[in-house]
Amino acid sequence: MKTVDLFCGCGGLSLGFQRAGYEIVGAFDCWEPALNCYTNNFKHKAHYLDLSKKNIALKKIRPLNPDIIIGGPPCQDFSSAGKREEGDRASLTITFAKIINSIRPKYFVMENVARAKTSDAYNDAKKLFKKAGYGLTEQVLDASKCGVPQKRKRFFCIGALNEDDGFLDTYLAANQSVLPLCIRTYFNENNYNLHFEYYYRHPRTYSRRAIFSVDEPSPTIRGVNRPKPPEYKKHPNDAANPDKVRSLTTQERALLQTFPESYDFGNNQMIAEQMIGNAVPVNLSNHVARSLLSFINHDTQSQSIEFINWLQQEHNYTQLAAKDVISHLSRCNRILSVANLPEQEYLEQLEKKEPFRNLSKSIRSQLKRSIILYAEYKQGSHNK
The reported pLDDT for the residue numbered 175 is: 75
Go through the domains of the chain in sequence order and give each one's CATH number: 2-180+281-296 (3.40.50.150), 305-378 (no CATH)
* Alpha-carbon span 143 to 324, nearest angstrom: 17
Q: How far is CA 29 from CA 62, 80, 162, in A?
A: 16, 24, 29
Please give the biggest Cα pair distance in the chain: 68
Neighbours of 234 (CB within 10 A): 14
Query: DSSP character for 249?
Result: P
pLDDT at 351: 94
In the chain, which stretches have pLDDT less than 70? 75-90, 178, 300-304, 339-340, 381-384
Residues carrying an active site annotation:
75
pLDDT at 338: 78
Q: What angle do CA 173, 175, 180 make, to 5 degrees?
A: 90
* Confidence at residue 142, expressed as pLDDT on a 0 to 100 scale: 94
Burial 207-224 (b: 16+ CB within 10 A, else e): eeebbbbbebbbbbbbbe
pLDDT at 78: 46
The answer to whether residues 7 and 109 touch, using CB atoms and an 8 Å cutoff, is no
pLDDT of residue 84: 45
Q: What is the pLDDT of residue 300?
A: 57
The predicted pLDDT at position 381 comes to 67
